[in-house]
Amino acid sequence: MTRVLIAGLGNMGLSHALAHHAHPDAEIVALVNRSGRVDHPDLGSYPVFDDFSTALAETAPDLAVIATYTDTHADYAIAAMEAGCHVFVEKPLAMTVAEASRVVECAQRTDRKLVVGYILRHHPSWVRLIEEARGLGGPYVFRLNLNQQSTGPEWETHKALMQTTSPIVDCGVHYVDVMCQITDAAPVRVHGIGLRLSEEIAPDMYNYGQFQVTFADGSVGWYEAGWGPMMSETAFFVKDIISPRGAVSITDGNKGASADIDGHTKVGGILVHTPAGDRTIEMPDEPVHQQLCDAEQAFMLRAIAEDIDLTRHMSDAVNSLAICLAADESIRSGQTISLEEILK
């Protein structure tokens, strides 16, 4: 039985807590929430702390699940691993590439398992999409975006997130991780542009951005993300991977509103195009958000029990974060950013 401490009970943290609550091989020893309380009826019987360090010291967990705001990820993850815990940490892994590298170094030094919350890695339809793209062979053109027309509570959540993290970084790491899994090549350089479209966010923050990335194998990628009530619902979910031998795309007939969380992972169907003809792969009965979180945490427990090698996973996590942070820097500076020195 794996003893689990869960820090952060927002949208993702709550889902991870419910996943461990239902898993037969997990025992939740405590929850951490800034308010010091838990409102969900299924979690009311667990001890609740308002301080991560205190909870870590007093409960001695085997696994720490960190779903707090990004600026705490690195320190919490390192503290947990130094205390003997394996770690699941929500994306993005850290605020900087240096911090992310420090977390990975700690995992290697302490021989602890480190899994980053890239939920698409556990979605069967996205796994199939990546397999089909890799089957075509590179170099690739990646055309990916996720814009969200958020209003009311959703816009309030986005504004809170933008106090520390831009849409390009928060959302982008998922889809850049897909690029990294497909190409196998190191990122080389990034150029981005963005714009602040609301006076409700800080003067130095932007709620719309896009970037272009070049990989060492010649692959190139484009990613776009925007949040807010002004965003368009037209072409908000584009997922194309193009190679010299054809293309793999997510069909768009399954899409609901851009702010629908389940729609962000839903594929519905995959169109594989080659000069010899097209074929469509239907993906029925796709998992919903909670089922994906269940799968993530089941993988985390399995990684511990079966001593799964996570070297490539950690490398991709650092690379995808580096690309998005370089894009953020490029948007703010107006300069093309070289990643070769950053990732040495």
- Assign residue 15 the CATH number of its domain: 3.40.50.720
Q: Is residue 78 part of a domain?
A: yes
**Which residues in the chain show pLDDT less than 70?**
252-267
**Judging by DSSP bridges, how do beta strands 269-274 and 277-282 pair with one another?**
antiparallel
Of 100, 116, 132, the residue at which a domain comes to its end is 116
Same domain, 173 and 282: yes
DSSP 105-174: HHHHHHT--EEEE-GGGG-HHHHHHHHHHHHH-SS-EEEEEEEE---HHHHHHHHHHTTT--HHHHHHHH
pLDDT for 264-286, tens place per residue? 455 678 999 999 999 999 888 88
- Assign residue 210 the CATH number of its domain: 3.30.360.10
Distance CA 335, CA 216 (A): 20
What domain range is 220 assigned to?
120-291+321-338
Q: Is residue 243 part of a domain?
A: yes
Q: Is residue 42 part of a domain?
A: yes
As for how many domains the chain has, the answer is 2
Same domain, 42 and 149: no
Same domain, 94 and 224: no
Same domain, 186 and 241: yes
pLDDT for 101-149, tens place per residue? 999 999 999 999 999 999 999 999 999 999 999 999 999 999 999 999 9
Please, which residues have CB within 8 angstroms of residue 186's CB and are 6 or more apart in sequence?
215, 216, 319, 339, 340, 343
Distance CA 62, CA 212 (A): 40
The pTM of this model reads: 0.88
Q: What is the DSSP letter of 211?
A: E
Q: Is residue 126 part of a domain?
A: yes
